[in-house]
């Protein structure tokens, strides 16, 4: 039976009791509008812990002023069914006024990593993410917290915060779940109309194409970005390529030479919808 908690102090008190009983808590923070990507995280959390907690909170702090906070999909009833069907124990659905009461003044920031890639286009976004994730961890007190690799930069920044602040939680990174045509699952995919949805496959196609060129030694590191931009801009509905390049998997610096592990990452707009995707390419030594 899925228990639903909305008050932060009640959630914290509940978790405190689990911890006294030595229960392991697996935690999946989400913004709702759940898809199979989220569900795969919940299933993994269930497998690895005694109690599974999912949060749904559309965090205003991580949206820019001209971003889609207001229209972000909110489908709580459908989310509840999905969570119940996979045996989630607790759904934590706090209200904005309880997460950010009047007079809220604190920010958690991970420097450098937060200003690169998506951070360069979404000012303050990752500060909003680290601040809310820090709060959620303190409330839910998880043993393990689960993030999808689709938001690679987010996962990396949360790991850095957890290490830097000695937060007593294991950050688990899970592979990206894709539609049958390769599009990475995302709550924002519902924004796409039929034509846009078809054209959105270009992100993964480009990543896989570059991967195969790299693995076959048919491309130099310095040409990666150029060829990615070419493929992406040949797709008529792609409106704005924010970045498409190869990066260091730890520092997110642009690479001039291949390493053993390489991050290919893309952010672009199709219509008004911003899409991101990435792939880790491992070169054999």
Instruction: Give the residue numbers annotated as catalytic, written as ranges.
Output: 38
Phi, psi of 174 (to 5 degrees): -120, 145
Report whether 128 contacts 62 (CB < 8 A): yes
**Which one of 25, 80, 83, 113 is in contact with its own copies (CB under 8 A)?**
113
Question: Binding of its own copies at residue 253 (CB under 8 A)?
Answer: no
Question: Binding of its own copies at residue 102 (CB under 8 A)?
Answer: no
Question: Binding of its own copies at residue 51 (CB under 8 A)?
Answer: no
* Number of residues located near its own copies, criterion CB under 8 A: 30
List the one residue out of 248, 217, 219 whose CA is nearest residue 231: 219
- State the minimum distance, in angstroms, from the CB of residue 204 to its own copies: 30
Helices 8-20, 125-140: axis angle to 10 degrees equals 50
DSSP state of 72: S
Dist. CA 57–CA 59, nearest whole Å: 6
**Which one of 95, 107, 193, 212 is in contact with its own copies (CB under 8 A)?**
107
List the one residue out of 63, 55, 32 whose CA is nearest residue 139: 55
Query: Positive or negative CA dihedral for 109, 112, 114, 115?
Result: positive
The first and second tokens of residue 123, run together, are 């000012």
**Which one of 38, 44, 141, 197 is in contact with its own copies (CB under 8 A)?**
141
Q: Is 166 exposed, middle or buried (0-12, 13-18, 19+ CB in 10 A)?
A: exposed
**Which one of 33, 34, 90, 139 is in contact with its own copies (CB under 8 A)?**
139
Stretch that binds its own copies, among 41-49, 52-60, 111-119, 194-202 (CB under 8 A): 111-119
CA angle, corner 78, sides to 12 and 155, nearest 5? Answer: 55
Q: What size, in residues, is the chain?
A: 285
- State the minimum distance, in angstroms, from the CB of residue 219 to its own copies: 30
Question: Binding of its own copies at residue 161 (CB under 8 A)?
Answer: yes
Q: Which is nearer to its own copies, 44 or 159 (CB)?
A: 159
Stretch that binds its own copies, among 42-50, 131-139, 221-229, 258-266 (CB under 8 A): 131-139
Stretch that binds its own copies, among 162-170, 211-219, 224-232, 277-285 (CB under 8 A): 162-170
Q: Which is nearer to its own copies, 96 or 165 (CB)?
A: 165
Q: Which residues bind its own copies (CB under 8 A)?
A: 8, 12, 16, 19-20, 22, 104-113, 130-131, 134-135, 138-139, 141, 160-161, 164-168
């Amino acid at each position: 039976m899925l228990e639903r908690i909305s008050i932060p102090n009640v959630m914290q008190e509940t978790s405190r009791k689990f911890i006294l009983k030595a229960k392991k808590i697996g935690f999946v923070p989400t913004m709702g509008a759940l898809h199979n990507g989220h569900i795969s995280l919940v299933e993994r959390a269930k497998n690895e812990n005694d109690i599974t907690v999912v949060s749904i909170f559309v965090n205003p702090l991580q949206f820019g002023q001209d971003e889609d906070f207001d229209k972000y999909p909110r489908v709580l009833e459908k989310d509840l069914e999905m969570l119940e069907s996979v045996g989630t124990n607790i759904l934590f659905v706090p209200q904005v006024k309880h997460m950010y009461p009047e007079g809220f003044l604190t920010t958690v920031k991970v420097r450098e990593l937060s200003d690169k890639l998506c951070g360069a286009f979404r000012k303050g976004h990752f500060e909003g993410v680290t601040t809310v994730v820090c709060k959620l961890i303190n409330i839910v007190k998880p043993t393990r917290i689960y993030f999808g690799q689709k938001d690679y930069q987010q996962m990396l920044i949360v790991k850095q915060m957890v290490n830097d602040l000695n937060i007593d939680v294991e950050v688990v990174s899970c592979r990206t779940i894709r539609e049958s045509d390769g599009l990475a699952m995302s709550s924002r995919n519902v924004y796409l109309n039929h034509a846009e949805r078809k054209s959105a496959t270009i992100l993964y196609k480009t990543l896989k194409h570059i991967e195969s060129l790299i693995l076959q030694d048919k491309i130099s590191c310095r040409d990666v970005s150029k060829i990615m931009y070419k493929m992406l801009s040949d797709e008529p509905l792609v409106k704005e390529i924010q970045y498409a390049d190869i990066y260091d998997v730890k520092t997110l610096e642009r690479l001039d030479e291949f390493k053993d592990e390489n991050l290919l990452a893309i952010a672009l707009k199709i219509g008004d919808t911003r899409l991101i995707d990435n792939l880790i390419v491992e070169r054999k030594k």
